[in-house]
Amino acid sequence: MSSVLDRITIGAPELYRRDGELDFTLDASFVPLRGPDGSWTFLQTTFCEEPYYHAFSGTPENVLETPGLYEMDYNGYTDYRGSGVWVMSAYRYPDGLLAGFCHRELLNHNDPAFGNCFFIGLALSRDNGKSWKYLGDVAGNVLNGKRYLPNMGGCPLLVRDGWFYVYFNDYDLTGLQRVTAARMRVDETREALLAEKLPAVFKYTGSGVWATDPMRETGARILPDVGFRPDAHAKGVYCRPLDRYLLTMQTNGEARLLLFFSRDCEHFDEYLVLDEAEEGKWMQPYSFFITADGDSSDDMNEVGSSFYVYYPRKGLLGNEKDGVGYDHDDVYRRLITVK
């Protein structure tokens, strides 16, 4: 075991909310945002039932304390029922401007000959996440429009040396799935957002090269083969005391929640299993990080030496077992401390 993993203590799973205690279905990672007065807002997007856009007020220990709503302007992009935009991660610039990293779906129920499409996109907020405007797609995949469901996942975000790194599921023409990433410059993205345009974005090509067309070509695999199939409905964070970038990944029916570690946002050579449940019944998507000691950035892209990872044990989509389906959410958390 490496010295980095030796410095981590992972607490036992705590059951935060039982399924019957939630009046909505988890459908995305929460996006935590701390306001100027120190209060926290937790954004949650769910297209399982209306309303779609929730904004809870709470604390790191009680993220669902007071329910509320936020608004999304589709800006001319599809908004018919079943399709939409999920805000999954956010970055706050020093002037308060928020960049939202989004998952977008175009579910084509009207024309079965044209398949479903999935994208990663950018949104803008000027009011601490109370309202957003979707600006467009920055990544797609080669199976869009074909007879597949090429779900690109939940776009966890890492920020390093002036770059945004966004992770998602990608596919080749045979249907083979892998986790790849795209990157864009932090400063160029800000200028593009202010002009309500999109920055230059490139997928991971491999071996330190980022030159792959993000919309039309398949990116290289960025995670090592660890015996499970990772899925990017997950979250990322930088841990200052470890000087490591942390990335959760779920494994669908294999029922593991993995935690990867990296020095550079490209090589993830160390990992551990953060949670394990019954295979074929549960999955653990939509995890997110939140400080437990107050030491973090206001957009939760950086944490200190004590933080929670929240995650559900959720029934498998389309594979109900023992009466448990996708709308079943038992929400857990684990306290992680760093020596």
Domain ranges of the chain: 3-338
* This prediction's pTM: 0.96
Q: How far apart are CA 215 and CA 18, in angstroms?
A: 39
- In this structure, are residues 52 and 46 in contact, taking their beta carbons and an 8 Å threshold? yes
Q: How far apart are CA 143 and CA 104, in angstroms?
A: 15
Q: How far apart are CA 196 and CA 193, in angstroms?
A: 5
User: Hey, what CATH class is 3-338 in?
Assistant: mainly beta
Please name the residue that has the structure tokens 């090592």. Answer: 224
Instruction: List the pLDDT tens digit at each of the 339 positions of the chain.
Output: 468 999 999 999 999 999 999 999 999 999 999 999 999 999 999 999 999 999 999 999 999 999 999 999 999 887 666 689 999 999 999 999 999 999 999 887 656 556 689 999 999 999 999 999 999 999 999 999 887 889 999 899 999 999 999 999 999 999 999 999 999 999 999 999 999 999 999 999 999 999 999 999 999 999 999 999 999 999 999 999 999 999 999 999 999 999 999 999 999 989 999 999 999 999 999 999 999 999 999 999 999 999 999 999 999 988 888 889 999 999 999 999 999
